[in-house]
Amino acid sequence: MNDAAPPGRSRPAITCFDIGGSAIKGGVARDPAAIAPLGHVPTPLHDFDDFVAALSTLAGRAPAEGPVAISTTGVVDPATGVITCANIPCIDGRALAADLAARLGRPVLIANDADCFALAEAGLGVGQGHRIVFGAILGTGVGGGLVIDGRIVSGAGGFAGEWGHGPVAATRVGDPPVEIPRFPCGCGLSGCVDTVGGARGMERLHHHLHGAALPSTAIVAAWLAGDAAAERTIEVQVNLLASPLALVLNVVGADIVPVGGGLGRVPELVARLDGEVRRRILRRADRPVVVPGRIAGEAGLVGAALLALSPGGLE
């Protein structure tokens, strides 16, 4: 990854944003390993002028130089620059980088938040030294990003890495086996890994298996305390996740899989998933492959900074 400034010149200050459905976080960086926070503001959802004003408020706290780099929820089509982002309606369907560049008067680079997570982990996290890094997000739902040779692989339509979608979740898993419905997914399909794999998926599975409505945090706490019902839920969920993730590794040849999102911060769960994935992949690995991410809550800003500081950071 060549992000060095020419001799005698300092790097430009990169204004970075991590945009989610509830908040926009800002930072400024000349070095992705040292990002100065700019604070955060609520995400305007329905008015694009308000959205631009929110970015401008944070950007006004940074030097007015260099590009703006954004990690955002939603998928950006690399061919058109158009973003699909249902949970922030005011940017959905826009050529967002071009529209923001015109309004902010600065170059703008944009990538999906899962892609930025994978780039952050590849550049500064557990993926350092690995050529192919697949970042798996186990948050509210399931997402992912693929980085090869320090570059995000966005793919056709911007959907590379989206292992959470497609009707591929098993319908009979566990010991003893249990039948799992093909739950409808927000993407319009059914039987997606996203419906059973993240925090909401854990809650859905627990209710299906035991008839109890509990938040994922309570299920995890009960599992760690030795509760049998929670153990059954975790067993079923890990099995539903492991086979699709193993297939991803077989296809892309990833060296390592950093895990982000809320469930990625449960090391016991990640270790359990790692063991099941390694049982299913073709290559033999004598050390963990699926591991908790290291960058944690700053991955969006770090990934955005790397996107701007790495020539050709997007494929």
State percent of the chain over pLDDT 70: 95
Give pLDDT, residue 7: 44
Across the range 45-57, mean pLDDT stands at 97
Alpha carbon distance 191, 169 (integer Å)? 5
Which tokens belong to 237?
């969920």
Task: For 268-306, write each residue's pLDDT tens digit.
Answer: 999 999 999 999 999 999 999 999 999 977 899 999 999
Task: For 186-236, write each residue's pLDDT tens digit.
Answer: 889 999 999 999 999 999 999 999 999 999 999 999 999 999 999 999 999
108 and 154 in a common domain: no
Which tokens belong to 170?
């098993």
Give pLDDT, residue 65: 80
Q: How many CA atoms lie within 13 A of 213 on its CB side?
A: 0
Confidence of residue 315 (pLDDT cuts 50, 70, 90): low
Domain count, the chain: 2
68 and 215 in a common domain: no
Nearest to 17 by CA among 84, 100, 125: 100
Give pLDDT, residue 6: 47
Packing angle between helix 228-252 and helix 216-224, nearest 10 degrees? 100
Strands 132-138 and 142-148: antiparallel
- Amino acid identity at 157: G
Q: Would residue 125 count as lying in a domain?
A: no
176 and 142 in a common domain: yes
211 and 139 in a common domain: yes
Domain interval for residue 238: 130-293
Q: Would residue 120 count as lying in a domain?
A: no
- Amino acid identity at 286: D
Q: Does 147 have pLDDT greater than 80?
A: yes
Mean of per-residue pLDDT scores for the chain? 93
Q: Does 86 have pLDDT greater than 80?
A: yes
Task: For 121-140, write each residue's pLDDT tens digit.
Answer: 999 999 999 999 999 999 99
Q: Does 26 have pLDDT greater than 70?
A: yes
145 and 283 in a common domain: yes
31 and 143 in a common domain: no
182 and 75 in a common domain: no
Q: Would residue 47 count as lying in a domain?
A: yes
